Structure formats: C-alpha cells, structure tokens
Amino acid sequence: DAGVIQSPRHEVTEMGQEVTLRCKLISGHNSLFWYRQTMMRGLELLIYFNNNVPIDDSGMPEDRFSAKMPNASFSTLKIQPSEPRDSAVYFCASRLSTDTQYFGPGTRLTVL
C-alpha cells in the first residue's frame, strides 16, 4: 500500500508568488495534518482536518496560508503571497481514527 504522497518534492519560487503544495492521504485514513519544519522551530503543526473538516487551524501563521480538503483523500496547502521566511520543509501526515500519524516525504520550499 502506498504511503502518504506529497508533491512537488522541491519548490523554488520568488517572493510574492503563489505556492501550492499537495498531499494524498493513505487510502482509508480520515485525518490529515500539515506541518512545517525548520531548524529554529522544529516541527510545527499548521492545521488538522478530520473527515475533510478543518478542526484546528490555530497553527496557520497568517492569512497568507490556506488549506483545503476537497475530498477524503487529497489536500492542498496554499501560500499567497509567499515570503522568504516561509522557506521550510512542509510535511503532511495522515491518520486513521486515533492511531498514529504517518508522514509524507515532505516538500522543501525555498522562497527567494
């Protein structure tokens, strides 16, 4: 069975551009988490969805960040406009009910 799939794996963009990160959950999982990882702050939870519904978005840094789950198996994280301080590795993780979280390979974002 395939794990969590993320795309793109690497993204380099210029400040002010829109960035869209994509995530496909493990089949049958019903919870999705978006994280950001930096050396300074470690792993930060950005947003949590359960059954396609956003439950907690308190970790979303600013209104420039938005996330959607248009269906049960897919999610997007959008940054518009992007800024250099958004440079980080972004992970999504999926989970079935209350079981453990399984992480994707991440998207390394560089904003110039």
Partner 1 sequence: GENVEQHPSTLSVQEGDSAVIKCTYSDSASNYFPWYKQELGKGPQLIIDIRSNVGEKKDQRIAVTLNKTAKHFSLHITETQPEDSAVYFCAAYHSNDYKLSFGAGTTVTVRA
Give the largest Cα separation in the chain, rounded: 39
Give the x/- contact pattern for partner 1 in 81-110, rule: CB under 8 A.
----------x-x----x-xxxxxxx----
Joined tokens for residue 50: 């359960």
CB-CB contact of 82 with 71 (8 Å): no
- Compute how many residues bind partner 1; rule: CB under 8 A: 19
Residues 41-80 that bind partner 1 (CB under 8 A): 42-43, 45, 48, 50, 55-56
List interacting residues with partner 1 (CB under 8 A): 4, 31, 42-43, 45, 48, 50, 55-56, 91, 93, 98, 100-106
